[in-house]
Amino acid sequence: MSEKEVSTERAVPEATTRGSIAMPSFDLTGKTAIITGGTKGLGYGIAATYAHFGANIVITARTVADIEPAAERINSRYITGENRCIGFPADSGEQADIDRVISGSVGVFGKIDILVNNAGISGKTAGILSEECSEDNFDQVINANLKGVFLFAKAVAKQMASQGAGGKIINMASVGGLVGGKGLVAYGASKAGVISLTKTMANEFARYGITVNAICPGYVVTPLNEDVFADKSIREKMEARTALRRLGCIEEIAGPALALASDCFSYMTGTYILLDGGQTIGG
């Protein structure tokens, strides 16, 4: 299918000209959303939230063993009526896997409206001059966190452009892409790259009615790190770095991700939402 440019003009609603304001809607009914890494943590929280607000959901993970129970939970807990959550095993850095996810999603739901690039890894925590901060580790993190975002967003944008109805791409970056955290050189570089990639894609995809934005979470408790934060000394150290003096929760990231996927943020593209509890303002 060929790419179709979409008019980016938006008429002022008649109600607005009469002094009334059309209320924003978070309804995603009829929309199809792909959430990479959607079986755990933030990805699962976003997938469940989108499902609750009516979207058809496609989640990815590396194994079927991760996908099946997550899809079952979403279908049973957050969806009323017919199941609307499916999943595909995929490595976001492998083009063949990405193509299979896209063709499978379109085959089941007919289209793709939303992509959340959430899959990623943290890599080893090690200073740049240490032996553990190796070239292999650096490449692994960059491939997973940056190359994967590039490949998946590019492929989905082509599909969205062929549909001719626009779309939403949301890239999961991090506060680590904005500050130079010690011991996380590859992770920080990858997330800074995601922020830059978001801006470039937003510029290039606008002609197709596709918006591209990023989310930069700070310290958020998830099932993947709750054991670490169970250590009182570590938790208090992290909390002290935020203005709110606490850690974030999954719902506090999923909510803004919902807003970005809805019509509420239709005039926002090429930027990021910082959700760090005030970490970057000096706590």
Catalytic residue IDs: 187
HSE, CB side, 13 Å, CA atoms: give it for residue 35: 30
Angle in degrees, 0-180, between the axes of helices 148-163 and 185-205, rounded to the nearest 10: 20
Whether 55 contacts 78, CB under 8 Å: no
End-to-end CA distance of the chain: 50
Cα dist from 33 to 43, 84, 102, 114, 258, whole Å? 12, 11, 11, 4, 11
Give, in degrees to the nearest 5, the angle at Cα 38 between 33 and 40: 155
Burial of 233 (0-12, 13-18, 19+ CB in 10 A): exposed
